[in-house]
Amino acid sequence: MRPARTLIAVSLAGAVSLAGGCGADGPQLEVFRAPEAYLPPIAPEAPPPAAAPESATAVVRQKPAAAPGQGVAQSSGAPSDAQVAAELKQAFKGGTDRRKAVEAATVGADGLATVPLTAPPKLRALITAANQVARKPYVYGGGHGGGPEGVFTDTAYDCSGSISYALASAGFLKSPLASGGLAKFGKPGPGKWVSIYADEGHAFMMVAGLRFDTSGRVKRGTRWQADGRSAGGLTVRHPPGL
């Protein structure tokens, strides 16, 4: 708001002396105060728009829940649960279906496997050790001759050498086994967390739903694979307790 202007009218009857003191003779000064100029009131600022709740997008994307007892409605042309189960059984050909894991691990962008939160201590040790050799080069006999830091250490590993390294780190082996030895290792049949498939020529293992197999390293740079493979003709064994 601007201050009111003060208008000073000076009589033209004579010269005005501004130096005179209070009550001095001479022309008198009359002071007029102009009325204040009218200014419209400032409109209040509009409040900022309320932010959308963080869950708004999630709510939009959520599918409506099915009524109790009705299950999930199948869209036109979608396969039934029975068809999906049959296709998975055929794809994995028995024994390597990753859904059998209690809690499936995943392969990260670095080619290493995650450790499931519910994994027991021996499984944690096994996955951690397998990660250490997952990206090592392949060489026949690697991991069997004994490196400078111990009998299991090496600069490159073959299929059974890398599996032996992981099993030894979890306390299941004291010396490396060839693939034929892994076909007789531990307990018969698939395990809850770990299943080893082996014969005299090759060995791989399923760990928490992931395949640890040196044959996949050439394609993806890691022995960890998210897909299964045929186990036909291979003996399946598992570490005791896993």
Which string of DSSP letters, residue by residue, matches 147-215?
BTTBSS--SSB-HHHHHHHHHHHTTS-SS---HHHHTTSSEES--SSEEEEE-SS-EEEEETTEEE-GG
Q: How confident is the model at residue 87 (pLDDT cuts 50, 70, 90)?
A: very low
Residue 42 vs residue 191, higher pLDDT: 191
Helices H, strands E: what count in the chain?
6, 8
- Do the domain assignments include residue 151? yes
112 pLDDT more than 70: yes
- Do the domain assignments include residue 57? no
Cβ(31)–Cβ(8) under 8 Å? yes
- Do the domain assignments include residue 163? yes
- Do the domain assignments include residue 224? yes
Q: How confident is the model at residue 25 (pLDDT cuts 50, 70, 90)?
A: very low
Q: What's the structural domain count of the chain?
A: 1
pLDDT tens-digit readout, 146-183: 655 556 888 999 999 999 999 999 999 999 999 999 99
- Do the domain assignments include residue 42? no
- Do the domain assignments include residue 181? yes
On average, the pLDDT of the chain sits at 72
Looking up residue 230, the CATH number of its domain turns out to be 3.90.1720.10
The set of residues, in sequence order, having a beta carbon less than 8 Å from that of 132 and lying 6+ positions away, is 165
Q: How confident is the model at residue 97 (pLDDT cuts 50, 70, 90)?
A: very low
Give the Å distances, CA to CA, from 59 to 55, 66, 73, 74, 75: 6, 16, 20, 21, 21
Terminal alpha carbon distance of the chain: 83
- Do the domain assignments include residue 81? no
Give the global pTM. 0.58
- Do the domain assignments include residue 75? no
* Angle at alpha carbon of residue 195, lines to 221 and 215, rounded to 5°: 25
Q: Which domain, by its residues, includes 230? A: 94-238
